[in-house]
Amino acid sequence: MRALDLKLIRDLRRIWAQSLAIALVLGCGVMVLVLANGSERSLILTRDAYYDRNRFADVFATATRAPEALKGEIAHVEGVAQVDTRIAVNVVLDLPGVQKPAMARVLSLPPDGPPLLNVPLLRLGRMPDPLHPNEVVLSEDFAQANRLIPGETFRAILNGQMRTLTVTGLVLSPEFIYLIGPGTMMPDDQTYGIIWMNRDAVAAATDLSGAFNDIALQLTPTASRDRVIQQLDLLLAPYGGTGAYGRDRQTSDAFLSSELHQLSAMSLILPPIFLIVSAFLVNMVLSRLIALERPQIGLLKAIGYSGQEIATHYLKLSIGIGIIGVALGWIAGAWLGRSMTALYADFYRFPYLLYAPGTWSFVISGILGLVTVIVGALRAVRASARLSPAVAMLPPAAPLFRRGWIDGIGRTFRLRQTTMMILRSITRWPGRASVTLFGVSASVAVLIASFFSFDSMKQMVDEVFYQTNRQDITLTLTGSRLRSTEEAALTLPGVLRVEGAYSLPVRLIHGSKSRLATVEARGDGDVLARLLDTDGHPVRIPPEGLTLSESLAQELAVTPGDTIDMAMLVPPRETVQVPVAAVIRQSLGQSAYMAETPIFALMRQSAQVNQVHLLTDPAALPAFFAAVKRAPGVNSVTLWTDVRDQFDATMNENLMRMTIIYSILGILITVGVVYNAARIQLSERAHELASLRVLGFTRAEVGYVLVGELMLLTTVAIPFGWLGGYGFSTMIASGFSTDLFRIPLVITRKTYALASVITFASALASALIVRRRLDRVNIAMSLKQRQ
């Protein structure tokens, strides 16, 4: 091995702690890239393979009752490759030993083999025998949660009739990778599942023989999806079609896409911070090393090494640090990616989910990591190449200090000389102070951006569950009923208050923008389901016009005062022009609202309900559940307290995990920056600090000079970190928000304080670790040397 390379290896070993501190920061950036990119790729690969193999449809639609003959007509629409019709109904179940009413969506299976599209994947048992109308297969997780194995039976109310069904098998479906009940956000395997049943049996029970109410299409590769949707809407309109939609509006696919969206946002937002900080650190440490090795550089040049050879030597050193960082990042990224994928496998219902990060994320993160250290090293390395041998072998000139504004501060506040040393050092090397400032504020920012998710989730929960949906239970009815249904609901056991609601499926059109949505009719006196203005205060529904959620208004590009077209997707199926009256805050979902009087006037109908919100007496719930299980008109039951608990539990678990990871990342930046800055300070000022010891300063007083400067910089950096954290949280809130939910930008004082305290403590700990080295400096010996 060449002598210069031996020197390189020994140098790296000598400055191992500093190299490791940089490598860790760099590794964080690489890790996030590998983690986010790898998980994204794994999810996409698995999803695509699953969709492909089980023929996940491209377009979906529902109707009230469409004749089977329409299928042929739909198949002829240009761009349609496959058509699959079926019957889909919601049912309330009476499961053995389960008090709460569980619900399921019943889907019909064709009599002559598997469906053409959205093919269920059999995991256990067998598919139902077409000759046995009571045989069903269940979605796997629902069956497992309720201990329903093939051979078991359970009861369901199908169109008002209690039926006993026999389980023959368990399946998974590409349609239900993320399976949630109506009106909920999180999967609850115990209370919501999918039942596949022979079509004849479902048709007989639902009175839909020779007809369908649910359709799925597969498109040809060149088809225009929007045009097909338009055609399909036209064809289904006479049969109660409520608007066709593509995969992007299909619940399961939309959730999966939002997850992918978040992963890709994460890989864009986070890594640059770590890479920039590491580049600065490399520059800082390498500059110091080169300053220390000036005489050696002079000697090397004197004996004939070229500037380029010396530059390459130091460049290799930084690449060495880069390689360590990239390797650490790869290992941590692959490991975390694996556990993240396991988490996904838990959350999403894939038949298999393999962690396959692909070489791409490794290659790209590796290249970025190495480019970072090279860019960081360039300035210092160029200086080493330019150093003339004669100058290099002379001791470096003493640093020049000048009188300036610092003196005024010193005089005004009667600062001690040790404090003046701190202030002069900062103003003498502003570049180095800026790196520390930048690094520490980046760390505060990462921590704020991590903790802010708790604040925004808390706000979201408060808004969704305490401010807007204050009902305990929502019953969705099988169809529209007269307002008198409210009185009937009041007679159910334990019901304290009833508020009827009506939701109208519409297509909202503004210029070239069009969106499927539901308009919810709101009564003036509603106190359970409420609306919030953009500041979060409850508001009354405007007497006229549409009220839109912020994200819906943004997507349609409308503001209050604009007029939009509202196509009603139920009779009278007219398109009317309505003004936008107000825009409100809504974190979950995208809805539109209208006062009941104008909505029913537009529909030319008397007021109706298709939902009832209930306030109930908890003590009477068993009796209430028993009654609901027998009630014929109930399509689905939403238990808001359950939804809230589920939401809280899932969010807290996931957020906690993410917060721990982000906090480690944030702390690592501070440690990397402050530790390196302190080591450099110590190396430059050992002599000066030893002088103070000789003069009779205690260890603590001398430590103050070293630690004080870094802590002063840390203190100054923290407010910048607040600003950065705010900006960073804004990016995350908008980057992570999707059609499904909108992350409110809320950062509490507690979050700012916590991020500051953690950063301050980790900076102090890093500086104190270096301060301990001061104790090892031999005072007498260090004073014998020339400065």
Partner 1 sequence: MATTVFRMQGITKVYRTGAVDVQALRGIDLELFEGEMVVLLGPSGSGKSTLLNILGGLDTPSAGRAFFRETELTSLGDAGLTAFRRNHVGFVFQFYNLVPSLTARENVALVTEIATKPMRPEEALERVGLADRINHFPAELSGGEQQRVAIARAIAKRPDVLLCDEPTGALDSQTGIVVLQALYDINRDLGTVTALITHNAAIRNIAHRVIYLADGQILRTQENASRAAPSEVSW
Which of residues 562 and 688 has its CB atom nearest to partner 1 in the complex? 688
Phi, psi at 612, each rounded to 5°: -130, 130
Binding of partner 1 by 773 (CB under 8 A): no
Binding of partner 1 by 787 (CB under 8 A): yes
In the list 379, 416, 513, 772, the residue contacting partner 1 (rule: CB under 8 A) is 416
Per CB under 8 A, the segment of 29-37, 118-126, 560-568, 697-705 that binds partner 1 is 697-705
Per CB under 8 A, the segment of 70-78, 420-428, 521-529, 733-741 that binds partner 1 is 420-428
Query: Of 523, 583, 572, which is closest to residue 548 (Cα–Cα)?
Result: 583
Which parts of 428-447 interact with partner 1 (CB under 8 A)?
428
Span between the terminal Cα atoms of the chain, in Å: 34
DSSP states of 129-196 as a string?
A: PTT-TTEEEEEHHHHHHTT--TT-EEEEEETTEEEEEEEEEEEE-GGGSS---TT-SS--TTTEEEEE
* Minimal distance, residue 697 CB to partner 1, in Å: 7
Query: Of 402, 391, 440, 425, which is closest to residue 684 (Cα–Cα)?
Result: 425
Which parts of 522-551 interact with partner 1 (CB under 8 A)?
none
- DSSP assignment, residue 529? B
Instruction: Please answer whether residues 476 and 628 qualify as being in contact, where contact means their C-beta atoms are separated by less than 8 angstroms.
Output: no
Classify residue 410 as exposed, middle or buried by CB count within 10 Å of its CB (0-12, 13-18, 19+): middle
Which of residues 403 and 749 has its CB atom nearest to partner 1 in the complex? 403
Binding of partner 1 by 418 (CB under 8 A): yes
Binding of partner 1 by 785 (CB under 8 A): yes
Whole-number Å distance between alpha carbons of 60 and 110: 17
Contacts of 488 (CB under 8 A, 6+ apart): none
Which of residues 100 and 424 has its CB atom nearest to partner 1 in the complex? 424
In the list 579, 701, 735, 777, the residue contacting partner 1 (rule: CB under 8 A) is 701
Instruction: Please answer whether residues 227 and 87 qualify as being in contact, where contact means their C-beta atoms are separated by less than 8 angstroms.
Output: no
Which of residues 327 and 420 has its CB atom nearest to partner 1 in the complex? 420
Binding of partner 1 by 483 (CB under 8 A): no
Query: Of 337, 433, 374, which is closest to residue 32 (Cα–Cα)?
Result: 337
Per CB under 8 A, the segment of 280-288, 297-305, 419-427, 644-652 that binds partner 1 is 419-427
Longest dimension (CA), the chain: 103
Binding of partner 1 by 757 (CB under 8 A): no
* Minimal distance, residue 677 CB to partner 1, in Å: 16
Which parts of 652-671 interact with partner 1 (CB under 8 A)?
none
Binding of partner 1 by 395 (CB under 8 A): no
Binding of partner 1 by 648 (CB under 8 A): no
Binding of partner 1 by 404 (CB under 8 A): no
* Minimal distance, residue 767 CB to partner 1, in Å: 19
Q: Within a 13 Å sphere around the CA of 320, how many CA atoms are in the beta-carbon half?
A: 21
In the list 693, 736, 738, 766, the residue contacting partner 1 (rule: CB under 8 A) is 693
Binding of partner 1 by 164 (CB under 8 A): no
Give the per-residue contact string, 669-688, with partner 1 (x = CB under 8 A; - = no).
------------------xx
* Minimal distance, residue 718 CB to partner 1, in Å: 25
In the list 75, 694, 723, 761, the residue contacting partner 1 (rule: CB under 8 A) is 694
Whole-number Å distance between alpha carbons of 298 and 566: 80
Binding of partner 1 by 134 (CB under 8 A): no
Per CB under 8 A, the segment of 83-91, 137-145, 189-197, 778-786 that binds partner 1 is 778-786
Q: How far is CA 260 from the centre of its chain?
A: 9
Binding of partner 1 by 420 (CB under 8 A): yes
Q: In sequence order, which ranges of 593-698 are alpha helices (DSSP H)?
A: 596-603, 621-630, 640-694
Which of residues 198 and 425 has its CB atom nearest to partner 1 in the complex? 425
CA distance to 133, 464, 493, 540, 643, per residue, from 529 (Å): 41, 10, 21, 11, 15
Phi, psi at 60, each rounded to 5°: -130, 150
Q: Is 713 helix (H, G, I), strand (E, B) or coil?
A: helix
The amino acid that residue 718 corresponds to is I
Q: Is 607 helix (H, G, I), strand (E, B) or coil?
A: coil
Binding of partner 1 by 699 (CB under 8 A): yes
* Minimal distance, residue 752 CB to partner 1, in Å: 34
Instruction: Please answer whether residues 268 and 370 qualify as being in contact, where contact means their C-beta atoms are separated by less than 8 angstroms.
Output: no
Binding of partner 1 by 772 (CB under 8 A): no
The amino acid that residue 736 corresponds to is F
Binding of partner 1 by 784 (CB under 8 A): yes
In the list 346, 400, 411, 749, the residue contacting partner 1 (rule: CB under 8 A) is 400
* Minimal distance, residue 418 CB to partner 1, in Å: 7
Residues that bind partner 1 (CB under 8 A): 397-403, 416-418, 420-421, 424-425, 428, 687-688, 690-699, 701, 779-780, 783-787
